[in-house]
Amino acid sequence: MAISRKWIRLSLRTLLLVTTVACFVLGHRAYVHQLQRDALQSILKLGGHIQGDAAQSSVMRFFVSRDHTIQARNVTSVAFLGPEFEDSDIGEFSRCALILPRLERVMMTDTMVTTDGERLLRNKLPNLEIKVINLIDQQKPTVTY
């Protein structure tokens, strides 16, 4: 039984189409992963401490990342402790926070963020639980939710 050439051409065309679509999908996933990893590194440079699920599949770890600590897509909370975080850092942090899909909480303790900066952060990230604790220059701690 002979295989017709038209069937072979159609199959080759289909194979090329499927390969192209698969490359686009994998490329997009790698791009999103890189954006999330860059956002995580920016938060760490701003002095943030991250918390989340450290589980990562061995296949993704082999192909995409050599950093085995925590995946950016699994970050659930960020804490800023100390005076390193200021009002000028809010724009960069809010840009990074929007990229992290599972981020739920932000806690700031003894930061240099003013009430205007806190209000700006709440306006930029309305879906996050933001907790601010300032112990500096006060006898009693103030907690704002």
What are the sequence ranges of the domains in the chain? 5-144
> How far apart (Å, rounded) are the C-alpha atoms in residues 11 and 60?
30
| pLDDT at residue 134 greater than cutoff 60 | yes
Angle at 43 between CA 38 and CA 48, to 5 degrees: 150
Q: Which amino acid is at 103?
A: L
* pLDDT of 139 above 50: no
| Selected residue with higher pLDDT from 143 and 113 | 113
What integer best gives the mean pLDDT of the chain? 81
Confidence of residue 140 (pLDDT cuts 50, 70, 90): very low
Nearest one of 47, 131, 57 to 96, comparing CA atoms: 47
pTM of the model: 0.72
Q: List pLDDT tens digits, range 35-88.
A: 998 999 999 999 999 888 755 555 555 555 555 456 777 889 999 998 889 899
Contact 131, 145 (CB under 8 A): yes
Residue 138 reports pLDDT greater than 80: no
